[in-house]
Amino acid sequence: MSEQYEYQPHPLLRKRVRDIASGVEGELMAVITENVSSTGIERWMDLAYVRGASGREFTTAVDNVVAASQ
């Protein structure tokens, strides 16, 4: 199983976003293609890293990230 990952460009990087799955808002810090497999078969996914108001980052599917309404 490969442990490689790759940063992806995204138009909302360093902007305020909302995770539509949880409703939490924060700043989009990175989008990274990661191997999310827990088995021996590789499964790659684009994950968005969002830093919430508490300063902690959480991940969500990049498709769940939208610009936060100001």
pLDDT in tens, 4-35: 788 999 999 999 999 999 999 999 999 999 98
* Cα separation values, 30 from 1, 13, 39, 41, 47, Å: 23, 6, 25, 25, 8
* CATH classification for the domain delimited by 6-67, as one of 3.40.50, 2.40.10, 1.10.357, 2.60.40: 2.40.10
Joined together, the tokens standing for residue 2 give: 């490969």
Q: What percent of the chain has pLDDT over 90?
A: 76
Break the chain into its structural domains and give their ranges: 6-67
Positive or negative torsion for Cα 6, 10, 14, 17: negative
Instruction: State pTM to two decimals.
Output: 0.87
